[in-house]
Amino acid sequence: MSKELTKRADDYSQWYNELVVKSQLADHSAVRGCMVIKPYGYALWENMRDQLDKMFKDTGHVNAYFPLFVPKSLFEAEETNAEGFAKECAVVTHYRLKADPNNKGKLIVDPEAKLEEELVVRPTSEAIIWNTYKGWIQSYRDLPLLINQWANVVRWEMRTRLFLRTAEFLWQEGHTAHATKEEAIEETTKMLDVYAEFVEEYMAVPVIKGVKTASERFAGAEDTYCIEALMQDGKALQAGTSHFLGQNFAKAFDVKFSDKNNKLDYVWATSWGVSTRLIGALIMAHSDDQGLIMPPKIAPLQVVIIPIYKGEEGKALIDAKSAEIIRDLKALGIRVKYDDNDNARPGWKFAEYELKGVPVRIAMGMRDMENNVAEVARRDTKEKSGVSLDGLADYLKNLLDEIQQNIYNRALAFRNENLRTADTWDEFVKLQEETGGFVSAHWDGTPETEEKIKELTKATIRCISINNKQEEGKCILTGSPSKERVLFAKAY
């Protein structure tokens, strides 16, 4: 990994600190690692959310909402899931405070108000949802049940990192129930495809679809499918997961249905989720030294118009012309802002919108008005050109598409350059140390070897690609026979 890239990665955190979140509330250690999403960042999340939501609905899903609190007895019902999350659960034990008799103006937890049963703040909602599904499913006619929830969850991680691992985060979690194993597996891969399509087409981040190894699997799942993206510093990021849960949760929560032959069986389940971590992926995949780069399709602002003028007369002319342009852009569904704030000078605004990653900036001054042009600057390449005001809106619509494609192509080229193969241990170690990125290599299939490789190089198996090519080979560490390559990388 080059030093330049490492430095750049450090800069990202500064930018998202500045632009989008704070990681803590001052002087409140107990909420360290939570995030405050500022309006600009939230607008980005809303765009991502709306698009995903549309895609979920297009694939037959509906939204619902389930409680934040999970009674401990429910939470522990699916043993593997419960154990997997036990170490990072926030737990509610009391329901009341009272005035501190020894300290005026202060409050203490009322010892009289201890809950009979502790409530777990959901780290994920399988338990409470499956407990609910039990009452909703009796017959094959109730299936499939295809529900998604937009919610916040809490995972009390020992160490947090902005966007990538905050204590509380926003996400969506889909939870589906099916009559057959095949149908559930189909749902699992279908939703993985939805995620891949969203991340690639809207976020312009190329991903690799794959299956996790047993040790990286979601607690309680039979199989975990994932999309893995590569960040500019050579580290991999798990951008979304889709789990085939088998009948584990149905058995734990006793969710049975009668099939057409009146035979009772447990339902087959899936769950799938993406989170505000995607914002982190976006930042780390595209940003450069001038700041963020937003893919037009989900950018909170797609075009910003900055008037350049001296005195009120010139400004009136520019105002009028800009209003026309804005009207045309809005008619094409383009998100545009006219920044005539007189408190900031043009140069300051240029830098500011570059930092925020607005895809296209238009500067309009008297000089341009006279020539019937506008100065159009694109964020991705930083190119500037004079463009005729006639047909400007259509030009910009095309330009936004081109920028979207260019950002994706650039990220794809980077990913492909950083997807290498290693056939020997020395090669493997050298790649991990020097270049980072994905390394495709043979592995003997045992968790012990996987663990050993992680210990020695910090690289983990990100996934086994879907439709992976089968080929004879030898494990890079142990030399044992292997029938396919798996993808290794250092990961966030």
Partner RNA sequence: CGGGAUGUAGCGUAGCCCGGUUAUCGCGCCUGGUUUGGGACCAGGAGGUCGCAAGUUCGAAUCUUGCCAUCCCGACCA
Q: How far apart are CA 311 and CA 339, in angstroms?
A: 16
In the complex, the smallest distance separating the C-beta of residue 483 from RNA, rounded to whole angstroms, is 26
Indicate the residue among 179 and 305 with the shorter CB distance to RNA: 305
Contact string 446-475 vs RNA (x = CB under 7 A):
--------x---x-----------------
Contact 149/63 with Cβ under 8 angstroms? yes
In the complex, the smallest distance separating the C-beta of residue 88 from RNA, rounded to whole angstroms, is 6
CB 477: neighbour CB atoms within 10 A? 20
Q: CA 436, 437, 441, 444 torsion: positive or negative? A: positive
Contact range with RNA by CB under 7 A, out of 90-98, 259-267, 359-367, 440-448: 359-367
| Contact between 80 and RNA per CB under 7 A | no
365 backbone dihedrals φ, ψ, rounded to 5°: -125, 180
In the complex, the smallest distance separating the C-beta of residue 366 from RNA, rounded to whole angstroms, is 5
| Contact between 158 and RNA per CB under 7 A | yes
With residue 223 as reference, give the H or E element that holds it.
Answer: strand 223-230
Indicate the residue among 238 and 432 with the shorter CB distance to RNA: 238
From 352, 423, 427, 484, residue interacting with RNA (rule: CB under 7 A): 352
CB 108: neighbour CB atoms within 10 A? 12
Indicate the residue among 92 and 491 with the shorter CB distance to RNA: 491
Q: Name every residue whose Cβ is closer than 8 Å to that of residue 71 and which is 6 or more positions away in sequence.
A: 117, 118, 119, 120
Indicate the residue among 166 and 482 with the shorter CB distance to RNA: 166
DSSP category for residue 291: B
Contact 360/399 with Cβ under 8 angstroms? yes
| Contact between 368 and RNA per CB under 7 A | yes
Q: How far apart are CA 485 and CA 462, in angstroms?
A: 12
In the complex, the smallest distance separating the C-beta of residue 12 from RNA, rounded to whole angstroms, is 11
| Contact between 24 and RNA per CB under 7 A | yes
| Contact between 166 and RNA per CB under 7 A | yes
In the complex, the smallest distance separating the C-beta of residue 255 from RNA, rounded to whole angstroms, is 23
From 2, 4, 7, 32, residue interacting with RNA (rule: CB under 7 A): 32
Amino acid in position 183: E
| Contact between 88 and RNA per CB under 7 A | yes
From 92, 317, 466, 491, residue interacting with RNA (rule: CB under 7 A): 491
Q: How far apart are CA 134 and CA 353, in angstroms?
A: 51
Q: Name every residue whose Cβ is closer than 8 Å to that of residue 409 and which is 6 or more positions away in sequence.
A: none
CB 27: neighbour CB atoms within 10 A? 5
Indicate the residue among 355 and 466 with the shorter CB distance to RNA: 355
Contact range with RNA by CB under 7 A, out of 58-66, 68-76, 111-119, 158-166: 158-166
Contact 19/355 with Cβ under 8 angstroms? yes
| Contact between 155 and RNA per CB under 7 A | yes
From 74, 143, 167, 475, residue interacting with RNA (rule: CB under 7 A): 167
- Residues 177-236 within binding reach of RNA (CB under 7 A): 216, 218
| Contact between 264 and RNA per CB under 7 A | no
Token digits of residue 221: 């799942």
In the complex, the smallest distance separating the C-beta of residue 55 from RNA, rounded to whole angstroms, is 19
Dihedral, CA of residue 349, residue 353, residue 356 and residue 357, to nearest 10 = -160
Which 3 state secondary structure label does DSSP give 342?
coil
Alpha helices per DSSP H over 59-212: 72-75, 79-86, 126-136, 181-197
Amino acid in position 55: M
Indicate the residue among 277 and 397 with the shorter CB distance to RNA: 277
Contact 485/470 with Cβ under 8 angstroms? no
| Contact between 3 and RNA per CB under 7 A | no
| Contact between 157 and RNA per CB under 7 A | yes
Which residues contribute to the site for RNA (CB under 7 A)?
Answer: 13, 23-24, 29, 32, 84, 87-88, 155, 157-159, 161, 164-167, 169, 216, 218, 238, 241, 273, 275-277, 290-291, 308-310, 342, 345-352, 354-355, 361, 363-369, 375, 377, 382, 384, 454, 458, 491-492
